Structure 1
């Protein structure tokens, strides 16, 4: 496992990296590269907030070390009891866990794998009338100047949805790059991908607001929607495989709720719509 991850960190960006003109900043960027894997599944929560069971999606696709790491951490998880009409109930939460591998010291092939972040929420359904649903989420066009230099990545959008279902405001909460350059190039790529995703969402995206439940009378709703920018010949990373990326800094607008402890936007799968808050509130850190 260590040699495989080390090779990934060393080579994954090099094949599609933008031209490098500043060797020092490029070396620094490579030191900040992380190998990552998203693992999804669900946990069952009892009336006391303890995990009574769990399952992984496509477990046959997952490497044993990833499964073992998460399974060692799950028994210690504690949630606030889920209440319905004031009484605790049994509940099932959709689980998404981001594992991150980083080099340790100067030893070649020595890697540290950890649980970086996790999200527990509802399983999305277009038929769920109690939450915001997607109506038209047409993808943005790839910026030609970014495609020409091999720039690519994922923009994690926070969208403020008005009562008419349109995006009132949009912020790029985080931008992770999957191609390297120097600091100036990467900032330009982040800025361009962010602006492209935001402008597209403001102009074209529409949602269906909640029609039932306690959230129907709100002035607006906030959802997260990750947007992938990949070149035409890029293959999507297969589930259960490691991928390399350069993580971006996070920002939060004043109209968004505080980020839950242990959560990072890049825990979410691109293309999905996720409410900013969840009824599943983790009380203990998810560590492993």
Structure 2
């Protein structure tokens, strides 16, 4: 017979992180005990290095396997994932397609209602998101390289990354989207570009990641401009380079009171570069 005075043992814990860009991160930690009871605690941390260190310390103090759940708010999830990893926990990230399901199942709220940190602790009751896998610096270098520039050796290393370090397939899916976008921009006709865009949309649907979805929306929003680039090959690269050079001149001169001197300095620099 079980000892009635024996305290309940902590089985696992789930931390919901309501991430912010400039405001404080709100964290709720739900602890599950072997007698079926739960305990919820809340705290906040600043979105700074000191705040992330405090987050790691608080999560590391939980004496049970811990899973943290976060919505992708800009790139704040990356720093939070590192903090959770330092605490010995596992990070899971839910995308927009899961948010509406979570609202309806847990809260019964509308699409415009906010999912807070406490709601995120219930994610495991609705669906089972895969763990977030962070790429190492070496893996990132491979992933950012253009596919056609990879030697046989580095192609093999990239295949090993996908086979051994990418159990969810997210890295490979994102890499395929990146390479297809590059292939689209290299096309020489509108017909080829349209076919490449269709293929890109298929890869984005397969990836089902917030970042690739935002990329797809950007491509669709700027598609007419992309068509002009494919047909004419014209870009604003030279204009942007000139604007940057002008800003450097102004910064070097600590500002110019006399607009004529400012214009003269710009023209002299342009003439010197042309003559060179």
Q: TM (normalized to structure 2)? A: 0.21
More helix by share: 2
Greater relative contact order (CA < 8 Å, ≥ 6 in sequence): 1
Q: TM (normalized to structure 1)? A: 0.21
More strand by share: 1
Larger Rg: 2
